[in-house]
Structure 1
Amino acid sequence: MNILLEKGKPQNAVSIFNNLIEKGHKPSLITYTTLLASLTVQKRFEYINPIISLVQKNRLEPDPVYFNAVVNAFAESGDMEKAMKVFNNENIKPNLRTYNVLVRAWCNKNNIKEARDILSRMVASGIGPDVITYNTLVSSYVQNGLTKEAEGVILEMQENNVRPNERTCGIIISGYCKEGRIRDALRFVYGMKGFGVRPNLVVFNSLIKGFLDLSDRNGVEEVLTLMEQFGVKPDVITFSTIMNAWSAAGYMIKCREIFDDMVRAGIKPDVHAYSILAKGYIRAQEPEKAEELLTAMKRSRVCPNVVIFTTVISGWCSHGSMGSAIRVFGKMIDNGISPNLKTFETLIGGYAENKKPWKAEEVLGIMERFDVRPEKSTFMLIAEAWRAMGLTKEANRVMGSVRKQNTDETRLESLESFYQKEGVNSSFSRLQIPNVVLSDQKGSTGPAKRSRMVLKEAECSSDGLCSTKVTNLNCRFGERAPTVSRKRLQGQLCVSGQFAPLCTVFLLN
């Protein structure tokens, strides 16, 4: 039974338990207690009452260990009324774990007053709270926007000879940062020396991000100096956070300098760092530099993801170079990266900006081949593309298909509800439209192969844009797209906001 419970198979363990009872075996209270405690860890709370009933039925005399297990079970399940009823039983002798479970349970319900009451009873019983008890309270204060009160718990801990740890301090610093009180967070870091806790990299990264969010350059420099004093070296998150600030402000030269500093420091950039660079180059209307990053990632053996590919695609779309956008799309598939809804909507938006609504609509056919289901937003993009050309009839046709789809889905949901009410055992999933398929199945067409199928049908027109031929699409909406003048529209990427230096480039020895 213990082996099955450890493997996360409580139903099998319960089945064996029931078989033992049916064969005349009489489990001891220890067995029931062990089973209840294990099932509580597995969060199988539906077994709590049946086990209690069996103990009562077999007239077993509960002991303090069993009572603690019952309190823990009810508290973990969130049923505080029953947990407290058992807890208040005079026969129970709560231990440290029982008190901590109750404190956490009340805190999870945002009832700090009751949690405090449990803490008082804990101290009165002669059981001293530990760092877990106090960290639970600190976390609850912070979650309720009471970080100042959370910091006050530190004094209480010291009075009870409980030493705060890194987690205690991290929770408080995070709370101040979330409240925008970064100077208070920094003040607390300076005070950490007083109770013998060294700030770690996570703390410093939180402070840097907080000061950057406030555009406080001096604050960032102070944190970097403090890091050096404590001998804490920055990691990829530190660099990426500062890179992101420069990138968002439009200072790509500074952003790139931070990136190069990171590489020189021997820290390998991750896909997020490359994505920050790519997004910055797209904002600066330099899609060619963003695409060059894909090659750099390959050299550094960093696998690009769908986010960075979609970012580069969006850059070419905004630049008006749909041929380049499709080319990058092909690279993505060749790398085994499956496009998502955002990728396709980016392509649709690109064709819309280039006043090619028929091409935007053809993307639906490519989506179907990759098992990506369009949403209402997808159809709205296409409809707006037609409407921008003055073709309201085509826009209404596209939106009409959305209404029909919604009607069909409502009917399917009603049918599913009917089958569930009638208790039909047959699987209903075959009636549902499948979700996005990211991995190849036996006999299916993989991303790379489908890419070749789709891109093989693409032919470049004289203006450099790719005209993708997708078949079996017109039947979807009933009418063939009309012939419209195909004049290319050069898209522009608009970036708003004030650009101001946020931090200085820092060098590492």
Structure 2
Amino acid sequence: MKRALDISRHRLVSSSSSSSLQLIPRCDNSLKPILNPLYNLLPQTQNPNQIVDVICSTLKQRDFVLSNLRDEVKSLIPHLGDREISRVLLRFQSDASRALAFFTWVKFDLGKRPNVGNYCLLLHILAWSKKFPLAMQFLCELIELQSKEEEDVFSVLVSATDECNWDPVVFDILVKGYLKLGLVEDGFSAFRKVIDSGFRVSVVTCNHLLNGLLKLDLMEDCWQVYHAMSRVGIHPNTHTFNILTNVFCKDSNFHEVNDFLEKMEEEGFEPDLVTYNTLVSSYCRRGRLKEAFYLYKIMYRRSVVPDLVTYTSLIKGLCRDGRVREAHQTFHKMVDRGIAPDCISYNTLIYAYCKDGMMEQSKRLLHEMLGNSVVPDRFTCKVIVEGFVREGRLLAAVSFVVELRRLKVAIPFEVCEFLIESLCREGKPFAAKHLLERISEEEGHEVAKPETYNNLIESLSRCDAIEEALVLKEKLTSANQVLDVKTYQALICCLCRIGRYREAESMMKEMLDFEVKPDSLICGALVNGYCKGLDLAKAESLLSFFAMEFRILDIESYNLVVKAICEKGSGYKKVLEFQERMQRVGFVPNSLSCMYMIQSLNQ
């Protein structure tokens, strides 16, 4: 350990010319600042030269109370700086409880922020006293402080070893602290400094570091950690090799896996179930099923019994490769060997069958799940319903949902909404409405979102089922829900199509009251409706209104009015007057407008 310290100090000294690092000053008398000698004429509790002695004297009292400490040194508090805090901590390096009490008093009672050097001294004191959880707590505070002050915690920790008792475990705690805060790359940097300076970290800390680097896909850094462990004699354990197996798999070094497994055995570790599962899963994800099944056979030869994870990986790999029947055979083999399938293994097969359009097999598997007391999740229901819809079997999908609800299987309403929307899209709004009513009745309350009602209203309107659509529309508006423009569009077009123009116009006014802007389709529907009813004045009024209020210059609607005037036999003069009025609001006739006008001349 002495050699490790010498190495670290040599590194610190050699880098001092290019670094702004401030080391903790030694607390000997030679570094003591020269103060005004007249201070010695003051009482001890008022003498700035005596602040450390006064604080330590108070803390040493058997029944000391921190609240009294402020009163004792009230006039000296302005003279309590970082150096004085360090001197007090050093006096109590063998009494961690008093050192900690003083540090806490400085932080909270005085509101002073200790510097990095003060924290490092406290860390050494706590680590020396085996108070490791407290050391980790204050280290995390220190790391956050260091991020603001940009000081190197490791270097300050090393320099502080000149001042106090210390335990090398503090450097292990340092690496762990960075990892605990999720600062994996900073933890890796600290690890390199610790190892390069001759200190050691535990294999547990190395494993945490490897895991963090693996999650960040920093494969090269993982290998650097492993090689550093080998170089300084930190013996890996099975967990280390399992993490490195993951690194191999992510790093695509499949051709080196056998060499690595041999290396693992040389180190005295047999690949365990986790090792094999990692490899099998990775081979399957990359489509290397031959190698995956080879490892599966090797597991039995080495007395490592495959578990649910192993079989699920193989089943997924086969399904992904389009070999669904082989996947189902592997599934049966798993069951025959006494391994109970879970929801994930069932879902894997169900998804594969649905993808191939084999819906009956999917349903049988779901019933098998229920028979084995495996509860289907939202994915199970969703994938089967979507499979039926994709195959164009909407009514079968509805029957499936109703059947599951009868069996008391909870179906996420998002699945029901998807089915309702699909029925509406296919022009089956009454089936959609019946399904929604049935689900709401079973739940005892309304479950659908406004978007679902909007879709249902649109679909009913397209089928001219206006009364049912209006009932749903009232249900929405009474719940203070605003219809969207597409829903208003569908309702207004439907009302105009069946000759209820006045109601359609009232609907448009309601729409404007809710600040929903109309579009050209609504304009065309209303104008066309009044033209059919031969109320041309109203049609022209609406045309002008849409043009002036919303800049909707729908030429098709304009031509409808021109045609209606011509067919009414009002004469060429009436058409010209209409054209002149419309030009003032922005309409420009096109070739169809001219054709209608020419036809009116021949009448």
Matches of 1:279 and 1:328, distance apart in 2: 16
Partner of 1:34: 133
For residue 210 of structure 1, report the CA deviation from its aligned partner: 1.8
For residue 236 of structure 1, report the CA deviation from its aligned partner: 3.4
1:107 and 1:115 in contact (8 A); partners too: yes
For residue 305 of structure 1, report the CA deviation from its aligned partner: 0.8
For residue 191 of structure 1, report the CA deviation from its aligned partner: 1.4
1:314 and 1:347 in contact (8 A); partners too: yes
Partner of 1:325: 432
1:200 and 1:232 in contact (8 A); partners too: yes
For residue 317 of structure 1, report the CA deviation from its aligned partner: 1.8
Partner of 2:222: 115
For residue 86 of structure 1, report the CA deviation from its aligned partner: 3.2
1:70 aligns with 2:174: yes
Matches of 1:370 and 1:143, distance apart in 2: 53
Partner of 2:277: 170
Matches of 1:341 and 1:177, distance apart in 2: 43
User: Residue type matched to 1:46 in 2?
Assistant: E
Which of 204, 209, 222 is residue 311 of structure 2 equivalent to? 204
1:92 aligns with 2:190: no
For residue 68 of structure 1, report the CA deviation from its aligned partner: 1.0
1:283 aligns with 2:390: yes
Matches of 2:187 and 2:458, distance apart in 1: 52
Task: Select between 335-344 and 91-100 the one with higher mean Cα deviation.
Answer: 335-344
Question: Which deviations, in whole Å up to 9, do the C-alpha atoms of 1:376-405 show, x marking residues without a partner?
Answer: xx98xx59x98x9xx9xxxxxxxxxxxxxx
Matches of 2:508 and 2:261, distance apart in 1: 66
Structure 2 counterparts to residues 294-443 of structure 1, below 5 A = 294-331=401-438, 335=443, 382=486
2:284 and 2:292 in contact (8 A); partners too: yes
In structure 1, runs of 5+ residues without a counterpart are 1-13, 392-460, 462-466, 487-509
Q: Secondary structure of 2:515's partner?
A: helix
Matches of 1:337 and 1:177, distance apart in 2: 45
1:208 and 1:220 in contact (8 A); partners too: yes
Matches of 2:237 and 2:203, distance apart in 1: 8
Partner of 1:223: 330
1:229/1:287 CA distance change after superposition, 3 Å: closer
Q: How does the TM-score come out when normalised to structure 1?
A: 0.60
1:135 and 1:167 in contact (8 A); partners too: yes
User: Residue type matched to 2:515 in 1?
Assistant: R
Structure 2 counterparts to residues 189-268 of structure 1, below 5 A = 189-217=296-324, 219-224=326-331, 226-228=333-335, 230-268=337-375
Matches of 2:294 and 2:355, distance apart in 1: 28
Task: Select between 234-243 and 165-174 the one with higher mean Cα deviation.
Answer: 234-243
Which of 144, 147, 171 is residue 46 of structure 1 equivalent to? 144
User: Residue type matched to 1:66 in 2?
Assistant: V
Matches of 2:102 and 2:254, distance apart in 1: 49
Partner of 1:10: none
For residue 254 of structure 1, report the CA deviation from its aligned partner: 2.7
With CA pairs under 8 Å and 6+ residues apart, which has the higher RCO, 1 or 2?
1
For residue 89 of structure 1, report the CA deviation from its aligned partner: 5.2
1:48/1:265 CA distance change after superposition, 3 Å: same
1:313 and 1:328 in contact (8 A); partners too: yes
Partner of 2:75: none
Partner of 2:232: 125
Q: Secondary structure of 1:189's partner?
A: helix
Matches of 1:266 and 1:115, distance apart in 2: 43
Question: How many residue pairs align between the two structures?
Answer: 386
Matches of 2:464 and 2:287, distance apart in 1: 44
2:328 and 2:349 in contact (8 A); partners too: no
Task: Select between 84-93 and 335-344 the one with higher mean Cα deviation.
Answer: 335-344
1:347/1:160 CA distance change after superposition, 3 Å: farther
1:235/1:17 CA distance change after superposition, 3 Å: same
2:311 and 2:334 in contact (8 A); partners too: yes
- RMSD of aligned residue pairs (Cα, Å): 4.9
Higher helix share: 2
1:344 and 1:367 in contact (8 A); partners too: no
For residue 245 of structure 1, report the CA deviation from its aligned partner: 2.4
2:249 and 2:279 in contact (8 A); partners too: yes
2:195 and 2:232 in contact (8 A); partners too: no
1:477 aligns with 2:575: no
For residue 472 of structure 1, report the CA deviation from its aligned partner: 5.2
In structure 2, runs of 5+ residues without a counterpart are 1-99, 111-117, 499-503, 530-603
Matches of 1:111 and 1:369, distance apart in 2: 54
Q: How does the TM-score come out when normalised to structure 2?
A: 0.52
For residue 173 of structure 1, report the CA deviation from its aligned partner: 1.7
Task: Select between 122-131 and 175-184 the one with higher mean Cα deviation.
Answer: 122-131
Task: Select between 203-212 and 149-158 the one with higher mean Cα deviation.
Answer: 149-158
Matches of 1:192 and 1:371, distance apart in 2: 61
Question: Which deviations, in whole Å up to 9, do the C-alpha atoms of 1:408-429 show, x marking residues without a partner?
Answer: xxxxxxxxxxxxxxxxxxxxxx
User: Residue type matched to 2:174 in 1?
Assistant: V
Question: Which deviations, in whole Å up to 9, do the C-alpha atoms of 1:102-125 show, x marking residues without a partner?
Answer: 433443453434422332332343
1:141/1:110 CA distance change after superposition, 3 Å: same
Partner of 2:287: 180
2:219 and 2:251 in contact (8 A); partners too: no
Which structure has the bigger radius of gyration? Answer: 2
User: Residue type matched to 1:207 in 2?
Assistant: L
Matches of 2:427 and 2:269, distance apart in 1: 63
1:36 and 1:47 in contact (8 A); partners too: no
1:185/1:282 CA distance change after superposition, 3 Å: same
For residue 38 of structure 1, report the CA deviation from its aligned partner: 4.2
% same residue = 18
1:103 and 1:136 in contact (8 A); partners too: yes
User: Residue type matched to 1:195 in 2?
Assistant: R
Partner of 1:156: 263
Matches of 1:169 and 1:299, distance apart in 2: 43
User: Residue type matched to 2:249 in 1?
Assistant: V
1:236/1:119 CA distance change after superposition, 3 Å: closer
For residue 155 of structure 1, report the CA deviation from its aligned partner: 2.6
For residue 344 of structure 1, report the CA deviation from its aligned partner: 7.2
1:343/1:184 CA distance change after superposition, 3 Å: farther
Matches of 1:147 and 1:346, distance apart in 2: 52
For residue 81 of structure 1, report the CA deviation from its aligned partner: 6.5
User: Residue type matched to 1:31 in 2?
Assistant: L
